[in-house]
Structure 1
Amino acid sequence: MKLKQAIYLVEGAADEDGRTPSIWDTFASTEASGGKLEVACDQYHKYKEDVQLMVDTGLDAYKFSISWSRLIPNGRGSVNPEGLQYYNNLIDELISHGIQPHVTLHHDDLPQALEDEYGGWVNSRLCMGDFTAYADLCFREFGDRVLHWATINEANVFAYGGYDVGITPPQRCSSPFGSLNCTRGNSTSEPYIVAHHILLAHSSTVSLYRLKYQSKQHGFIGLVLYTFGAIPVTDSKEDKIAFQRVKDFYFGWFLHPLVFGDYPETMKRNGGLRLPVFTNSESKLVKGSFDFIGVLYYSCATIIDNPESLRLQQRDFGADMAATINYFVDPVSSTSIFPIAPWGLRSFLEYIKEAYGNPPIYIYENGQRMLQNSSLDDIPRVNYLNGFIGGLLEALRNGSNTRGYFVWSFLDVLELFDGNEVSFGLYYVNLDDPDLKRYPKLSAISYSNFLKGKTFSSDAVSEVTKPSSLSYSLL
């Protein structure tokens, strides 16, 4: 079992040792994120302590992101020796303690220098070349110890959130679809263009890895998608068709080209000329360009047909999908925690097995959202993780090709949408402590006992070391 963190959420040291800003830095500086990017959890300085905590917990793998702008400050060209040394140190520390590093190359953090120079992912050839060169450096420097590579994290949300509705970096969008903070972009076309460029950059990187490194390093490479379980809200034909359309738009957007070499027919029909077309050579390059698919999974939703959206004069990705998605949250909880519904994960894994040939899957994020500082006795998180691990076991028994499971998150990190107001961590980070001391929550002890084959008991609550500044009340 494993854990996962992203660089800007955990690493800190945003402007130290030669690192330059990324599009995440720019986004965070304009948003009331409720947290400090320059500090986060300060794993940059505390990585040895955190790796020891992983060992104590019983982990055998840890997924983290490399900051492109820490490694290559200008996005291309000269390598930053301090950045190179840091990632070598972190990887070596993990390996020396028997923990497998799973590395993400891009997690919403394109170097701002490239965004400023040519528009980043909107520009196909330049960004594809720069990303492939950056990946080449990582394979060359770290591939002798890193066996699992993810090119782009949450690629579907990055394209939709960053270039349609403008709620994630680089916050490009246009009226009437985007957020009020957007001052540039085109919501009707850019999500499709960026996704297309991501697929080309990903496949180019996979081709490079397979040609130059894979036979020597014996590693694996894939792409990561945001996913959710879903059901049609009624048994009507219209809602059932809308249910499939949502799967085509959210998951098939990337999985269909990766498995079959082209976009789903529903996307081509509804997106029309705004959806780019693969050339024959591009289709061959993209098809099969993965060893595994990474999955982020939290909750489930109901799907309602919305044909009226197709009659709009201006349409974006959401309107083209022609369906309304209503995500499940716990209606009695003020913290908007996710309900325990393992059937959603099982149904998604079953769909991937049946529709896309049962590819190898790594569940790279799964976890429970709670208010920060609410309690170390995080029983809702314990119950959530126990439920979903049980659901995963059922999926495996039914033939799912899932190879690994990672909890989001190891520490209470600087969250993308909520800053430090909410947390997903097994370990509480005391932000009022200059040393940012880590404290195990009940979920950390429960998960550790599970990994070590021990029976979990409520007596574990007494093992939690509680900082005096924290409320202990149960939610």
Structure 2
Amino acid sequence: MNLLAAAVLVSVISIANAFSRNDFPPHFLFGASTSAYQVEGAANEDGRKPSIWDTFAHAGNGGLYKGDGDIACDQYHKYKDDVQLMSKMGLDAYRFSISWSRLIPDGRGPINPKGLEYYNNLINELTSQGIQPHVTLYHWDLPQALEDEYGGWVSRRIIKDFTAYADICFREFGDRVKHWTTVNEGNVVSIGGYDAGFLPPQRCSPSSIFNCSKGNSSTEPYLVTHHMLLAHASAARLYRIKYKAKQHGFIGFNLLFFGFVPLTNTSEDIIATQRAQDFYTGWFMNPFIFGEYPDIMKKNVGLRLPFFTSRESNLVKGSIDFLGINFYYAFYIKNNAKSLQKKNRDYTADTAVEFKPFPGNGTSTDEIPVIPWILQELLHSLKNNYGNFPIYIHETGQQTRRNSSLDDWPRVKYMNEYIGSLLDMLRNGLNIRGYFVWSFLDVFELLGGYKASFGLYYIDLEDPTLRRQPKLSSVWYSNFLNNRTMDSKITLKIKDNSSAVSNTPLMHAST
């Protein structure tokens, strides 16, 4: 055995002895995530109509990737098989989203019976296996009909339509679904879709590098967030008045969190880092907790920032029972006061910061840096600023190239580090209720299409059956969830000047 193989073996054995599922509170949830457009397929079947994501993908989406979700993982037809895999793995919960345009094809009006049947079947299959369904109502896939009719999220009309959609979901599924997330990555929806324009519905000012055909980056991101907050709050109020007493569920919201670190210890960069936090997370958290936008946003954005009436402020304030957090990357922050001198400012200029790569970002292997300590600092800051409300880690995961080895050692290391760090976070008083791996399967990724892989299971797109193949990470996760320990008699193979754990089973039952 050479030195590299020995180092890997020592690392693997140290992972085995670090912690177990039994170290976590009994009600702490471990799960995996996907979303409708990324996993379901059957995009043109059984009455489903297009969403803005369909339109975006079919239009070539700015050249970011090729492909679409027309077939994806075909979970629409294979949900029973997938739930069986979840059950065998030992998942406590499965986080998925409902396709609004599958359930209500035109965004409002008649319910699609086949869409209703599918989600009832999926939820029933999960609950029959003892797996909690955690449902997201909106995961970047607004019905195209509403976008065409009035511009979707840029219009206040979305509040009424979203609330009616939520009402149907609560009524039809709420007897079995206890955890509802209204919107996934609300900050990404606003920034990516309406400021930079690299996400659906691809709206931005003409000056954007993504050459949007419509939009206004100086105003629309703020309008979209405002309407999103009001739509969420409206749905939450409806649930609490009409359903909570009988269904006993919880309503949350999801944000993408970045680790922001001052580039230098100068006061300018330290203040800029706080400003970045206010613009990216305080933008939503301040209204949820205090009923108002952060002061720095009011100052920098001015009259372009919508304001809450007294009634709206009270509606939004306190409207989350939990916060869902997605976390992947960190950035160094440098002050950029010159951006505030631009004549026609957009959201990016309003933040008045520059982003610098954090060590580990953009490596040659496309791997995501393993930085759980930054997540821990973020959550402590969140607790100090907004209180210790319940948190679910809805997404965190490691990226590899799709056709790389099933022995996905980087993903095993990533999951081990983050799950292990959760114990420290819990011991330090953070109110974390669950952890979901992104993603259960190799799905159609938002930015990477079918080139990027985050899944615990590999799907060969050339295989007409789309057979699910377990990766090393799925074996590791399953054995962790079932309290089996790592076998120190691990065989290693060295191939192509790289080390990888062999296909030999990794773990055995503890005695």
Q: TM-score range by the shorter chain?
A: over 0.9
**1:58: which partner in 2?**
90
Q: Partners in 1 of 2:300 and 2:422 — Cα distance?
A: 34
**1:99: which partner in 2?**
131
Range 232-241 or range 326-335, more displaced: 326-335
1:456 positional shift: 2.7
Find out whether 1:189 has 2:219 as its counterpart. Answer: yes
How high is the TM-score relative to the length of structure 2? Answer: 0.89
1:415 positional shift: 0.2
SS of the equivalent of 1:281 reads: helix
- In 1, are the aligned partners of 2:32 and 2:436 still within 8 Å (CA)? yes
**2:210: which partner in 1?**
179
Find out whether 1:120 has 2:152 as its counterpart. Answer: yes
Query: Structure 1 residues 145, 348: CA separation in 2 closer, same or farther (over 3 Å shift)?
Result: same
Query: Structure 1 residues 461, 247: CA separation in 2 closer, same or farther (over 3 Å shift)?
Result: farther
Q: Partners in 1 of 2:359 and 2:223 — Cα distance?
A: 32
Q: Partners in 2 of 1:297 and 1:443 — Cα distance?
A: 19
Q: Partners in 2 of 1:461 and 1:27 — Cα distance?
A: 46
Q: Indicate which of 174, 183, 186 corresponds to 1:143.
A: 174
Counterpart residue identity of residue 60, structure 1: D
> Percent identity over the alignment?
59
1:325 positional shift: 2.0
1:391 positional shift: 1.7
**1:234: which partner in 2?**
264
Query: Structure 1 residues 332, 34: CA separation in 2 closer, same or farther (over 3 Å shift)?
Result: closer
Q: Partners in 2 of 1:46 and 1:377 — Cα distance?
A: 24
SS of the equivalent of 1:393 reads: helix
CA RMSD of aligned residues (A): 1.6
Counterpart residue identity of residue 134, structure 1: Y
Find out whether 1:351 has 2:381 as its counterpart. Answer: yes
**2:412: which partner in 1?**
382
1:35 positional shift: 2.8
Q: Indicate which of 448, 453, 458 corresponds to 1:418.
A: 448
**1:466: which partner in 2?**
none
How high is the TM-score relative to the length of structure 1? Answer: 0.95
**2:459: which partner in 1?**
429
Q: Indicate which of 44, 52, 76 corresponds to 2:76.
A: 44
**1:341: which partner in 2?**
371
Counterpart residue identity of residue 44, structure 2: D
SS of the equivalent of 1:290 reads: coil
Counterpart residue identity of residue 289, structure 2: V
Q: Indicate which of 338, 347, 350 corresponds to 1:320.
A: 350
Query: Structure 1 residues 247, 457: CA separation in 2 closer, same or farther (over 3 Å shift)?
Result: farther
In the TM superposition, what whole-angstrom CA distance separates every residue of 1:308-351 from its partner, at most 9, and x where no partner exists? Answer: 11111111111111111234363694232111111111011101
SS of the equivalent of 1:256 reads: helix
- In 2, are the aligned partners of 1:136 and 1:208 still within 8 Å (CA)? yes
**1:5: which partner in 2?**
34
Counterpart residue identity of residue 173, structure 2: F
1:461 positional shift: 7.8
Unaligned runs of 5+ in 2: 1-29, 493-497, 502-511
Q: Partners in 2 of 1:92 and 1:206 — Cα distance?
A: 24
Query: Structure 1 residues 301, 144: CA separation in 2 closer, same or farther (over 3 Å shift)?
Result: same
Counterpart residue identity of residue 51, structure 2: S
**1:35: which partner in 2?**
67
Q: Partners in 1 of 2:490 and 2:310 — Cα distance?
A: 59
Give 1:229-378 correspondences, 5 Å limit: 229-328=259-358, 330=360, 333-378=363-408
Radius of gyration: which is bigger?
2
Q: Partners in 2 of 1:75 and 1:333 — Cα distance?
A: 41
Query: Structure 1 residues 23, 329: CA separation in 2 closer, same or farther (over 3 Å shift)?
Result: farther
Query: Structure 1 residues 388, 155: CA separation in 2 closer, same or farther (over 3 Å shift)?
Result: same
Q: Indicate which of 152, 156, 169 corresponds to 2:183.
A: 152
**2:49: which partner in 1?**
20
SS of the equivalent of 2:464 reads: coil
Give 1:401-416 correspondences, 5 Å limit: 401-416=431-446
Range 453-462 or range 155-164, more displaced: 453-462
Counterpart residue identity of residue 47, structure 2: G
SS of the equivalent of 1:326 reads: strand
- In 1, are the aligned partners of 2:334 and 2:355 still within 8 Å (CA)? yes
Find out whether 1:165 has 2:196 as its counterpart. Answer: yes
1:406 positional shift: 0.2
Range 335-344 or range 59-68, more displaced: 335-344
1:143 positional shift: 0.2
Q: Partners in 1 of 2:229 and 2:95 — Cα distance?
A: 22
Give 1:128-139 correspondences, 5 Å limit: 128-139=159-170
In the TM superposition, what whole-angstrom CA distance separates every residue of 1:285-324 from its partner, at most 9, and x where no partner exists? Answer: 0000010011001121211111111111111111111111
SS of the equivalent of 1:63 reads: strand
SS of the equivalent of 1:450 reads: helix
Counterpart residue identity of residue 274, structure 2: Q
Q: Partners in 2 of 1:284 and 1:325 — Cα distance?
A: 35
Query: Structure 1 residues 331, 81: CA separation in 2 closer, same or farther (over 3 Å shift)?
Result: closer
Counterpart residue identity of residue 50, structure 1: D
Q: Partners in 1 of 2:487 and 2:268 — Cα distance?
A: 47
1:176 positional shift: 2.3
1:234 positional shift: 0.8
**2:5: which partner in 1?**
none
SS of the equivalent of 1:289 reads: coil
- In 1, are the aligned partners of 2:32 and 2:437 still within 8 Å (CA)? yes
SS of the equivalent of 1:228 reads: strand
Query: Structure 1 residues 206, 142: CA separation in 2 closer, same or farther (over 3 Å shift)?
Result: same
Q: Partners in 2 of 1:453 and 1:377 — Cα distance?
A: 21
1:379 positional shift: 0.7
SS of the equivalent of 1:296 reads: strand
Counterpart residue identity of residue 102, structure 1: H
Query: Structure 1 residues 294, 75: CA separation in 2 closer, same or farther (over 3 Å shift)?
Result: same
- In 2, are the aligned partners of 1:22 and 1:112 still within 8 Å (CA)? yes
1:257 positional shift: 0.2
